[in-house]
């Protein structure tokens, strides 16, 4: 897997050199005045500023080139793949059908997540943050520190996704078997914390735009117009879509018949596999009489993915950006489908 991921790192590097992108800007930070350490501290913040702050000592002080940065970020995201491998190994190791663990591993080789996490960018850190949280949930409470580190990293890199991941963890953790004796106390606390997150975001926005709900719609409209203003080849008019079309766009597009170049071809082929696993998942769910039997860490990423997909359906209108934004959680949708099929196989064996 390391050789495969390293190869995609080089592909990502070449892609950015030719086409450009935020990745180049994250690494090649312009110097502002004199006094390196002073300006480095001034970069500290969330989102893009956090990327500048993290990269500043490496690119501006140590003088490492963009290729070195690509390999560093590729190594960072590769740690996330190792953690994902451990999760899948613990989930499918006891499968009576020997091919199921191999199929689960092959899902980790889907190229979209490797490509967008292979170089300098937020997705590499978001992927690692998500894997730390999932491993922390899977091995709770022994590795609860992983949850804290993963949430903090995600919050710093992209706050809105960090808050969504926090909400997902709060929704799932109260149902962990070790917390059963305390559930009556923990569930109300979790609900209060989730409500507090929504209240925090509303108050934060209202202090700028006014205490009403109108500003939420205005920001969503501005986001769509801002992305549309770039006139990208993969732009789509999500405003005219109904909810079925919105979600099918987030989940399965670009379709194979929408292929325009090598990159859309690669995305279209991967989406065919995603669609096939989705059909397998729904068939398995039907066979299980709609008993959704998956581990808590998969519940966490499922809630996380559904919430983000809903959010992206409101804010994104470019297929290229959609492929990048969904890359870090989307492989687990296929893994969830495979796990449901795994449960079907167990039921048939018991019979």
What are the pLDDT digits (tens) for 241-294?
A: 888 888 898 988 888 888 787 778 888 888 899 999 999 999 999 998 888 889
The first and second tokens of residue 306, run together, are 């559904």
User: Residue 34: what pLDDT?
Assistant: 54
Q: Cα–Cα distance between 347 and 343 in angstroms, integer? A: 6
Residue 124 · residue 73 · CB < 8 Å:
yes
User: Residue 225: what pLDDT?
Assistant: 60
User: Residue 63: what pLDDT?
Assistant: 87
User: Residue 134: what pLDDT?
Assistant: 97
Q: Which residues of the chain have pLDDT under 50?
A: none
The first and second tokens of residue 250, run together, are 């987030």
Beta bridge partners of 235: 318
User: Residue 96: what pLDDT?
Assistant: 64
- Indicate the pTM of the whole model: 0.91
User: Residue 239: what pLDDT?
Assistant: 78
User: Residue 219: what pLDDT?
Assistant: 59
Handedness of CA 32, 36, 42, 44 (dihedral sign): positive
Q: Would you call 275 exposed, middle or buried from its count of C-beta atoms within 10 A (0-12, 13-18, 19+)?
A: middle
User: Residue 210: what pLDDT?
Assistant: 64
User: Residue 20: what pLDDT?
Assistant: 86
Q: Cα–Cα distance between 24 and 14 in angstroms, integer? A: 11
Q: Cα–Cα distance between 330 and 314 in angstroms, integer? A: 18
User: Residue 38: what pLDDT?
Assistant: 55
Nearest in space to 27 (alpha carbons), one of 77, 74, 68: 68
Beta bridge partners of 318: 235
User: Residue 264: what pLDDT?
Assistant: 81
Q: Cα–Cα distance between 297 and 305 in angstroms, integer? A: 12
Nearest in space to 271 (alpha carbons), one of 316, 231, 327, 312: 327
The first and second tokens of residue 217, run together, are 């719609």
Residue 23 · residue 121 · CB < 8 Å:
yes
Q: Would you call 30 helix, strand, or coil by DSSP? A: coil
User: Residue 232: what pLDDT?
Assistant: 57
DSSP result, 327-342 = TTTTHHHHHHHHHHHH
Q: What is the pLDDT of residues 33-70, one digit of tens each?
A: 555 555 777 778 888 889 999 999 999 888 899 999 99
* CA angle at 80 for the pair 303 and 341, rounded to the nearest 5°: 50
The first and second tokens of residue 168, run together, are 């997902």
């Amino acid at each position: 897997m390391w050789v495969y991921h390293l190869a995609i790192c080089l592909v990502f590097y070449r892609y950015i050199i030719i086409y450009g992108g935020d990745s180049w800007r994250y690494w090649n930070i312009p110097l502002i005045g004199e006094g390196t350490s002073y300006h480095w501290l001034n970069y500290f913040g969330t989102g893009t500023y956090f990327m500048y702050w993290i990269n500043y000592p490496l690119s501006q002080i140590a003088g490492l080139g963009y290729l070195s940065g690509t390999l560093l970020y590729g190594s960072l995201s590769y740690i996330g793949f190792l953690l994902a491998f451990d999760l899948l190994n613990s989930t499918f190791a006891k499968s009576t059908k020997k091919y199921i663990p191999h199929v689960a591993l092959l899902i980790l080789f889907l190229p979209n997540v490797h490509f967008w996490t292979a170089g300098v960018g937020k997705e590499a850190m978001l992927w690692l943050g998500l894997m730390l949280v999932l491993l922390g949930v899977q091995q709770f409470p022994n590795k609860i520190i992983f949850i804290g580190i993963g949430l903090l990293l995600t919050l710093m890199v992209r706050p809105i996704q960090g808050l969504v991941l926090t909400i997902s963890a709060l929704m799932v953790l109260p149902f962990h078997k070790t917390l059963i004796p305390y559930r009556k106390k923990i569930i109300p606390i979790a609900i209060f914390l989730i409500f507090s997150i929504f209240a925090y975001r509303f108050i934060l926005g209202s202090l700028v735009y006014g205490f009403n709900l109108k500003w939420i719609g205005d920001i969503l409209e501005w986001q769509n117009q801002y992305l549309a203003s770039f006139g990208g080849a993969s732009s789509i008019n999500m405003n005219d879509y109904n909810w079925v079309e919105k979600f099918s766009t987030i989940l399965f597009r670009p379709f194979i018949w929408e292929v325009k170049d090598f990159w859309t071809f690669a995305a279209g082929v991967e989406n065919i596999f995603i669609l096939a696993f989705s059909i397998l998942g729904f068939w398995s769910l039907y066979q299980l009489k709609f008993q959704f039997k998956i581990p808590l860490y998969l519940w966490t990423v499922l809630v996380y993915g559904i919430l983000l997909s809903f959010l992206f359906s409101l804010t994104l209108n470019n297929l290229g950006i959609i492929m990048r934004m969904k890359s870090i959680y989307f492989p687990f949708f296929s893994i969830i489908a495979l796990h449901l099929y795994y449960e079907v196989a167990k039921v048939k064996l018991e019979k």
